[in-house]
Amino acid sequence: MTKQKMSSEEVINVAIAALEEVKGADILTIDVRDKTSIADYMLICTGTSNRQLNALVDNVCDKVKAAGLKSLSEEGKGDSDWVLLDLGDVIVHVMTAAARQFYDLERLWQGAEQSRAASAAHHTPGNE
């Protein structure tokens, strides 16, 4: 029996739930399908420390693996202020507040549809 591929929206929902579980803050989903070919969506999340960034990324990896998806790669894990997790069609950026303000990915992807996650409901484009 083969497992059906998860949709980008399902990956986003699993990742957001995992980030919220470890108290990730200001979680933003950006729809980049019309802007780049590297991914369909980007998730950006703020953590308070390097330790929390690592815990956030570890939890996302664990949850997507449990859902049947393997992360393709991680960049920046350890003492970095920005950790990137490639989940195929979804790229997760976990950053300290200072790094998020400095790199300002929201401005870089200005014009792309953006939605913030809320504790009560996970927002993905098309599911608002």
Q: Is the dihedral of CA 115, 34, 77, 59 positive or negative?
A: positive
| CATH number 3.30.460.10 is the correct assignment for the domain at 8-114 | yes
Walk along the chain (128 residues) and give the pLDDT tens digit of each residue. 345 578 899 999 999 999 999 999 999 999 998 888 889 999 999 999 999 999 999 999 999 999 988 777 888 888 889 999 999 999 999 999 999 999 998 888 776 566 666 653 444 444 44
As separate numbers, helices (DSSP H) first and strands (DSSP E) second, the chain gives 4, 6
Entry field: residues in the chain: 128
